[in-house]
């Protein structure tokens, strides 16, 4: 069976859920006739029409607010952000409405909305198009946040998110859309709250997510040659963090390296370190090491941009340091 591109896996998930449930619809900039900036909604407009594949004006706060209102009435909107950075314009709607209304209504309203789109550091997209907003949204009560990293988990996560009665933000990395891998034809779901153990090992635990999964695995290829045996965990769920999987791994390895594309200050790694210190500090044989992007706006210059994020050689050096 042929492999599937990640963007096609997301399109398949959207198509299948729209066929099953008439309450599911998509809205966003250029999602209709154009088929989406990264072709996640390609050809769906011809199949479902203007009212279920809805092209919106360039007004994120307006169409995200409209989607939340639609969710309250019983529909299941999928909001595509042309770039996740633009959703900062709808931060009020996402935080004060999507995240809170189920609670502030005493449970009278459900908010089954999915907000998804491309983010992360691409290739010379400039500071305003290279933001990593996972840490921005992580502090908002009521949201679930996931980051896909393979075509398989991208499709399963999106289907799970669409069926969930709570607001879910799905982060897709702009450089992973053309990644190809096996995706089953049969219906399947990927849990919204579970990490994936990508590689089992005994020497140390490496926790990562999204595109950094591939930088980690590239480093692991060299580390194995040097007789190191790392365990690799792909978080997938950024909120809630599957801390149990991490703790269970640390009880075996006793050392932790976190690799993220998020900024260092207030990033996802910061929250993991806090929870690890609370739950299994006595199991650690060394301080936790985190490799994060630099706390600066991402430069447009290609060489400077490359210097702001983590690369495999830095992961290799950190593992050697931890396992001296």
- CA distance linking residue 208 with residue 51, whole number of Å: 39
Cα-atom radius of gyration of the chain, to the nearest Å?
20
Classify burial at 303, counting beta carbons within 10 Å of its beta carbon; exposed 0-12, middle 13-18, buried 19 or more: exposed
Instruction: Concatenate the DSSP letters of all residues of 3-31 into one string.
Output: -EEHHHHHHHHHHHHHHH-TTEEEEETT-
Pair 205, 256: CB distance under 8 Å: yes
Annotated active-site residue 278? The verdict is no
User: 268-274 long-range CB contacts below 8 Å, 24 or more apart?
Assistant: 268/134, 268/135, 268/138, 268/209, 268/235, 268/238, 268/241, 270/135, 271/138, 271/241, 272/207, 272/241, 272/243, 272/246
Pair 196, 208: CB distance under 8 Å: no
Annotated active-site residue 186? The verdict is no
- CA distance linking residue 105 with residue 260, whole number of Å: 36
Q: Which residues of 146-176 are buried (b: 16+ CB within 10 A; e: fewer)?
A: bbbbbbbbbbbbbbbbbbbebbbbbbbbbeb
Point out the catalytic residue in the list 129, 196, 261, 305.
129
* Residue 110: strand, helix, or coil: coil
User: What's the CA dihedral at 171, 175, 179, 184 to 10 degrees?
Assistant: 10
Point out the catalytic residue in the list 29, 60, 196, 260.
60
Listed residue (215, 191, 173) closest to 317, CA to CA: 215
Please give the positions annotated as active site: 60, 129
């Amino acid at each position: 069976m042929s492999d599937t591109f990640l963007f096609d896996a997301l399109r398949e998930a959207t198509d299948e859920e729209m066929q099953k449930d008439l309450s599911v619809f998509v809205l966003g900039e250029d999602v209709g006739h154009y088929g989406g900036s990264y072709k996640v909604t390609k050809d769906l407009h011809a199949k479902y029409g203007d009212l279920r594949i809805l092209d919106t004006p360039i007004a994120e706060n307006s169409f995200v607010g409209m989607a939340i209102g639609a969710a309250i009435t019983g529909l299941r909107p999928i909001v595509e952000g042309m770039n996740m950075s633009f959703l900062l314009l709808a931060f009020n709607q996402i935080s004060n409405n999507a995240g809170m209304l189920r609670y502030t209504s005493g449970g009278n309203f459900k908010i089954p909305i999915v907000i998804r789109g491309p983010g992360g550091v691409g290739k010379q997209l400039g500071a305003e198009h290279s933001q990593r907003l996972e840490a921005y949204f992580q502090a908002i009560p009521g949201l679930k946040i996931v980051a896909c990293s393979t075509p398989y988990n991208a499709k399963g996560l999106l289907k799970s998110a669409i069926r969930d009665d709570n607001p879910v933000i799905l982060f897709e990395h702009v450089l992973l859309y053309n990644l190809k891998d096996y995706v089953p034809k049969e219906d399947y779901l990927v849990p919204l709250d579970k990490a994936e153990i990508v590689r089992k090992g005994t020497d140390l635990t490496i926790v990562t997510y999204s595109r950094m999964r591939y930088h980690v695995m590239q480093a692991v290829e060299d580390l194995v040659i040097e007789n190191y045996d790392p365990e690799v965990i792909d978080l997938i769920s950024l909120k809630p963090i599957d801390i149990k999987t991490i703790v269970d791994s640390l009880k075996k390895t006793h050392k932790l390296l976190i690799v993220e594309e998020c900024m260092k200050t207030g990033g996802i790694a910061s929250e993991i370190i806090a929870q690890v210190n609370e739950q299994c500090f006595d199991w650690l044989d060394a301080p936790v090491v985190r490799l994060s992007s630099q706390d600066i706006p991402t430069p447009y210059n290609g060489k400077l941009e490359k210097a702001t994020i983590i690369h495999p050689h830095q992961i290799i050096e950190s593992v050697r340091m931890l396992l001296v």
